[in-house]
Amino acid sequence: MSDCLFCKIVSGAIPSKKVYEDETSYAFSDIHPQAPTHVLLVPRKHIASLDHADAADTALLGELMATATKLAATLGLGKGYRVVINTGADGGQTVDHLHLHLLGGRAMSWPPG
Ligand code: 5GP
Ligand code: ZN
């Protein structure tokens, strides 16, 4: 997707602070961090949102979850962390490329805003 911000970040066309990468995913620091650790984990494949993932993406979604837990450990979030996938307008999604927010380094409150 040539006009997608996160596709451009994955390809390196737009710079980012890389945290991790493998064959299926890329992780980078959020430009407006909401916690001491705020990483975005995105699939290299363009999927517009969680709502746009289909049955063929099931393994990819599982891999992203597993990668998020590995990243949390690597980043020292042993006290806990939060994984968020904002989806659609009411979900607060602002970038239309599926992404997991990995937030940690402070105690989170509930319910979210
Ligand atoms: P959403 O609101 O779609 O769940 O999350 C999008 C996230 O992308 C926001 O937390 C926002 O701060 C982050 N973001 C938007 N533009 C950029 C950018 O150019 N670089 C980085 N690193 N993060 C961005
Ligand atoms: Zn994209």
Please give the single-letter amino acid code of residue 65: M
Any idea what the CATH number is for the domain that residue 51 is in? 3.30.428.10
pTM, 2 dp: 0.98
Residue 110 lies in a domain: no
Range of the domain at 27: 5-104
Query: Model confidence over 63-91: pLDDT tens digits?
Result: 999 999 999 999 999 999 999 999 999 99
Residue 43 has pLDDT above 80, yes or no: yes
Residue 113 has pLDDT above 90, yes or no: no
Give the neighbor-by-neighbor strand order of the sheet with 18-21: 18-21, 25-29, 37-43, 100-104, 81-84
pLDDT value of position 73: 98
**Cα–Cα nearest to 1, from 105, 98, 101, 68:** 98
**Cα–Cα nearest to 71, from 8, 15, 18:** 18
Ligand nearest to the CA of 91: 1
Q: How many domains does the chain have?
A: 1
Q: Which residues line ligand 1 (CB under 6 A)?
A: 5, 16, 28-32, 40, 86, 92-95
Residue 73 lies in a domain: yes
Residue 40 has pLDDT above 80, yes or no: yes
The catalytic site residues sit at 99
- The residue nearest atom 20 of ligand 1, judged by CA position, is 31
Residue 11 lies in a domain: yes
Residue 112 lies in a domain: no
Residue 2 has pLDDT above 90, yes or no: no
Ligand 1: residue of 32, 49, 85 to mutate (most ligand atoms within 8 A of CB) is: 32
